[in-house]
Amino acid sequence: MPVRFDVPTQAVYSQLLDRLRAGAFAPFIAEGGSFITKEVKGRRYWYHAVKEGGRSRHRYLGPDSDEVRGQVDAAKRQQEDYRSGRRRNRELVRMLGEAGYNRPDALTGRLLERLANAGAFRLRAVLVGTHAFRCYDALLGVRLAEQAGVTGDIDIAQFSTVSLAVDDRLERPIDELLGEIDQRFEPVGRLDPRQGHAEWRLPGDEMRVELLSPLVGPDDDALQELPALCGRAKPLRFLDYLIYETETAALLWDAGVLVRIPTPARFACHKLIVSQRRAARGEGSKARKDLAQAQAMLPVLLTDRRGELEDVWEELLKRGPKWRHTALSGLEGLEPGTAQPLRALAADLGWT
């Protein structure tokens, strides 16, 4: 079983996450403006409205919810000095790092901080892949297997429908933001250069950044437009399941960075499918890492978030024969004690 962080240390993380969530809209305070709501297709959404060059700009904040309303209220009444608040956050990040929580390398930290400051995660972009996995140790309060969380890749996903609906965009195109961090970033072209690009690399594959979007319907490898992120994304099958439900987490870099990641249960179940897809393509090492990440998380979820896990597992199984077959095959790569409860639930639903 994974080793749990002690309760006082978990409380430090909770404090940091609460502070980052409460201060999510703090940078807008200095700009003035106001917080407004819009109704789109029967749902209410929050925006920050500010005048820029004689024109009104609306920045998307999120759907109307208790969390977003709380963030708006906190921003309205915020009296704490912004700089002193960041100093306190840095102290909390330092404490968590000393306690053994996962921290990103400098390049990854600076890059994700820049994307966050530009509005990527506010605009419902989702950090997926191994860097999301590295956020779960703090979120779940356990030490996850270190060998399962090593990568130089950063994957950012978003629904194309969400990207169109938020009526807002990054302050600058992705190409420019990456160039600010390291001028050596270069786009990776596709066979058809007219499609543009959805991937960037540093020389020597030191780091790779890729935009992704769910593929639903017939197979189609054409890049999808993500207007909110000022870029195009590679379509991926099964990604809609992964990013359908998300939550915010604290990336332990500098004064803390608020990122959006898939819910832990969706991440773990999705890994069962991805591992089999990669194994079928001959990507054995990546498939083994996928299963290692699922194995690291599932015992904790079975204990601490069993209801949530059972719900998303049942949803996955009901998505069709291909989903069921692939996910159940993924269970074969887990330890028997981890796979058994999920296999039993599938049997209860009439699928083996």
List b or e across 25-49, with b for residues whose CB sees 16 or more CB atoms inside 10 angstroms. bbebeeeebebeeeeeeeeebbbbe
**Nearest to residue 244, comparing CAs of 128, 107, 151?**
128
Taking residues 43-50, report their average pLDDT.
87
Least confident interval from 41-45, 265-269, 315-319: 41-45
Residues 6+ apart with CB under 8 A from 217: none
Residues 6+ apart with CB under 8 A from 177: 114, 115, 118, 170
Distance in angstroms (rounded) separating the CA atoms of residues 143 and 10: 12
> Strand 3-4 and strand 142-143: pairing?
antiparallel
> What is the C-alpha end-to-end distance of the chain, expressed in Å?
26
Residue 60 pLDDT grade (very low, low, confident, very high; cuts 50, 70, 90): confident
Half-sphere exposure of 183 toward its Cβ, with a 13 Å CA cutoff? 0
State the DSSP H helix or E strand holding residue 275, giving kind and residue range, or none if neither: helix 264-280
Residue 184 pLDDT grade (very low, low, confident, very high; cuts 50, 70, 90): very high
The domain segmentation of the chain, as residue ranges, is 101-262, 265-352
- Under a CB-based contact definition with an 8 Å cutoff, are residues 261 and 126 in contact? yes
Residue 292 pLDDT grade (very low, low, confident, very high; cuts 50, 70, 90): very high
- Under a CB-based contact definition with an 8 Å cutoff, are residues 238 and 274 in contact? yes
**Nearest to residue 17, comparing CAs of 72, 59, 67?**
67
pLDDT of 205-227, one tens digit each?
679 999 999 998 788 888 998 99
| Residue count of the chain | 352
- For residue 13, count CB atoms less than 10 angstroms from its CB and return exposed for 0-12, middle for 13-18, buried for 19 or more: buried
* pTM exceeding 0.85: yes
C-alpha dihedral (315, 317, 321, 324), degrees to nearest 10: 140
pLDDT of residue 78: 65
Cα-based distances in Å from 300 to 97, 142, 143, 145? 21, 8, 10, 12
Tokens linked to 274 = 């991805």
- Under a CB-based contact definition with an 8 Å cutoff, are residues 272 and 294 in contact? yes
Distance in angstroms (rounded) separating the CA atoms of residues 93 and 111: 17
pLDDT averaged over every residue in the chain? 89
Taking residues 274-294, report their average pLDDT.
92
Q: Which of 6-10, 21-25, 48-52, 170-174 has the highest mean pLDDT?
A: 6-10
pLDDT of 69-106, one tens digit each?
988 887 776 645 666 788 999 999 999 999 999 999 99
Tokens linked to 112 = 């994700």
Distance in angstroms (rounded) separating the CA atoms of residues 209 and 187: 9
